[in-house]
């Protein structure tokens, strides 16, 4: 960045000039140097507010869309289609051909990995990871919507860095028969960022959720500011919801089903409480074990032998929900949740 004349100005002037840049100008500025993001942080540059970011990965293309006050900024990565009228775009030392267009509402960047004969999806994931890292450096993204079937850490490589979404919603693009490949490592994205709400649509998550709950109880996620996690997943009928609580001490919940419904409108049948050992913070877990009865005609991807469960995991932050005091009253210990 030493070649930039801007950097010869006093730091206060640099900050004022950069803060006058729109999101595209900052994007170009950031793409020219690997030190740009750290320089922005050093100057204390205010980020540009972005209402939401969508990450959609399909079988032919991947798309990242930012919705902010002046319209939409769209990045599209084509797997097989080549693009014309390109220029080189430097993204963390990787030079990519890009076609740039705009109208009054949409500004779009089109990338192509059509020339990749091997490792095509690996290249796509790397590009998405670099873009999300760069975009979160220059913008404050309130909500992130993800539709994908790969680990989240591949889309958000800098877990402990700039990823500070207010809310993330994860849904399963491939359908319930495959399920989101969420791993225990992916929960680091949840617990080390300032998420307020996390919604997942997942399948086969018993072991992963159980590991996360055990870690939360053990105090491994003391930096967590999570208000609640909503998990919708499918279990075969010979499985039990108690699999989620194997090796976890639970108590009969002091949060009523009606209180849970007042926060989340989905059906909730029962609730249990768990406590974090480090500070006695209480989390309420609510679930629905009648989902299959409500599903009149299962689709091809959700066969009749599958029982649907919905679970809500809510961490008791007194500043968010007054009904959940940080230090609970006398606990009623139990080695397992109430019978289902």
CA atoms within 13 A on the CB side of 69: 6
Cβ(143)–Cβ(173) under 8 Å? no
Tokens standing for 197?
């709400």
- Read off the pLDDT of residues 145-204 as tens digits, 9 standing for 90 and up: 777 666 667 777 655 544 556 666 666 554 444 445 566 666 666 555 554 445 554 455
CA nearest 25: which of 52, 45, 3? 45
What does the pLDDT read at residue 305?
A: 28
Specify the range with the lowest mean pLDDT, choosing from 13-22, 123-132, 214-223. Answer: 214-223
CA angle 199, 196, 204 (to 5 degrees): 25
Tokens standing for 262?
């007042």
Q: Report whether pLDDT(314) > 50.
A: no
Q: Report whether pLDDT(206) > 70.
A: no
**Residue 104 pLDDT class (50, 70, 90 cuts):** low
The radius of gyration of the chain from alpha carbons, rounded to an integer in Å, stands at 23
CA atoms within 13 A on the CB side of 68: 18
What does the pLDDT read at residue 212?
A: 74
**Residue 287 pLDDT class (50, 70, 90 cuts):** low
Coil/strand/helix, residue 61: strand
What does the pLDDT read at residue 240?
A: 53
- DSSP character for 45? P
> What is the pTM (predicted TM-score) of this model?
0.64
Q: Which residue has the tokens 């989240």?
A: 152
Q: Where are the alpha helices (DSSP H) in the chain?
A: 11-20, 23-31, 36-43, 120-138, 152-155, 187-191, 206-218, 257-263, 291-294
Residue 291 φ/ψ, nearest 5 degrees: -60, -40
CA atoms within 13 A on the CB side of 256: 3
CA nearest 191: which of 173, 172, 217? 217
**All residues at 6 or more sequence positions from 117 whose CB lies less than 8 Å from its CB, including other chains:** none
**Residue 242 pLDDT class (50, 70, 90 cuts):** low
């Amino acid at each position: 960045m030493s070649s930039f004349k801007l950097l010869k100005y006093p730091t206060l002037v640099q900050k004022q000039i950069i803060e006058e840049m729109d999101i595209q100008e900052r994007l170009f500025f950031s793409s020219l140097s690997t030190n740009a993001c750290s320089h922005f942080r050093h100057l204390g540059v205010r980020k540009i507010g972005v209402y939401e970011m969508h990450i959609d990965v399909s079988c032919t293309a991947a798309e990242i869309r930012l919705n902010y006050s002046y319209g939409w900024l769209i990045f599209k990565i084509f797997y097989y289609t080549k693009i014309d009228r390109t220029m080189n775009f430097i993204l963390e030392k990787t030079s990519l051909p890009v076609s740039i267009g705009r109208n009054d509402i949409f500004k779009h960047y089109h990338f192509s990995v059509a020339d990749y004969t091997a490792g095509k999806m690996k290249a796509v994931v790397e590009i998405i990871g670099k873009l999300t890292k760069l975009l979160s450096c220059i913008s404050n993204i309130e909500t992130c919507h993800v539709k994908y079937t790969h680990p989240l850490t591949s889309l958000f490589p800098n877990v402990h860095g700039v990823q500070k979404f207010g809310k993330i919603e994860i849904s399963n693009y491939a359908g319930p028969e495959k399920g989101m490949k969420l791993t225990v490592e992916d929960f680091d994205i949840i617990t080390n960022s300032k998420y307020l709400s996390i919604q997942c649509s997942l399948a086969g998550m018993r072991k992963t959720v159980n590991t996360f709950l055990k870690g939360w109880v053990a105090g491994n996620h003391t930096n967590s500011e999570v208000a609640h996690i909503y998990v919708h997943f499918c279990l075969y009928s010979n499985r039990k919801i108690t699999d989620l609580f194997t090796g976890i001490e639970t108590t009969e919940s002091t949060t009523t089903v009606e209180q849970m419904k007042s926060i989340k409108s989905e059906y909730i049948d029962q609730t249990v409480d768990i406590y974090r050992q480090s500070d006695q913070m209480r989390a309420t877990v609510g679930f629905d074990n009648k989902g299959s009865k409500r599903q009149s005609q299962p689709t091809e991807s959700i066969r009749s032998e599958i029982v649907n469960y919905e679970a809500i995991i809510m961490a008791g932050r007194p500043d968010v929900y007054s009904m959940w005091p940080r230090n609970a009253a006398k606990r009623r210990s139990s080695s397992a949740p109430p019978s289902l």
